[in-house]
């Protein structure tokens, strides 16, 4: 059986993917992959996702320059979630989020509200031109 056939794709042919920084263990982001994105990620050693909003493959960093080098691809016990162990590369390797932060998980629930707990490292208007 082909390794791609073992993934439990959802009805839209997608699987959720967690990108984790290899060096720190920080969870950087969650995205989606279709079969082609996963195959290209494995071939290139670079994160390629499927953008649901754009309806096409999204080579991480194609606009921002914040590329993710992939060291490992793992699958969970139910075969329906993937984990990428990555190293951020590019113009500013400390940024993974389109908001200019290190991680997309920068909001923490405190006393019934969401509080931003990570600083903006670079203004998004300077990243996306």
Domain ranges of the chain: 3-93
- For the beta carbon of residue 99, count every other beta carbon within 10 angstroms: 17
Question: pTM for the complete prediction?
Answer: 0.90
Q: Give the DSSP letter of residue 1.
A: -
Q: Give the DSSP letter of residue 119.
A: -
Distance between alpha carbon 110 and the CA centroid of its chain, in Å? 26
For the segment 106-129, what is each residue's pLDDT rounded down to a tens digit? Answer: 999 999 999 999 999 999 888 876
The CATH architecture to which 3-93 belongs is: Roll (3.10)
Spans in the chain with pLDDT lower than 50 = none
């Amino acid at each position: 059986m082909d390794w791609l056939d073992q993934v439990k794709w959802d009805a839209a042919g997608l699987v959720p993917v967690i990108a984790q920084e290899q060096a720190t263990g920080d969870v950087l982001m969650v995205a989606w992959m279709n079969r082609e994105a996963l195959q290209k990620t494995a071939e290139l050693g670079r994160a390629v996702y499927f953008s649901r909003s754009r309806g096409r493959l999204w080579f991480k960093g194609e606009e921002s320059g914040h590329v993710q080098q992939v060291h490992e691809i793992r699958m969970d016990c139910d075969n329906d979630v993937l984990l990428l162990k990555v190293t951020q590369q590019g113009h500013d390797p400390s940024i993974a989020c389109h908001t200019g932060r290190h991680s997309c998980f920068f909001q923490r629930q405190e006393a019934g509200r969401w509080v931003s707990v990570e600083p903006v490292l670079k203004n998004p208007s300077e990243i996306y031109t």
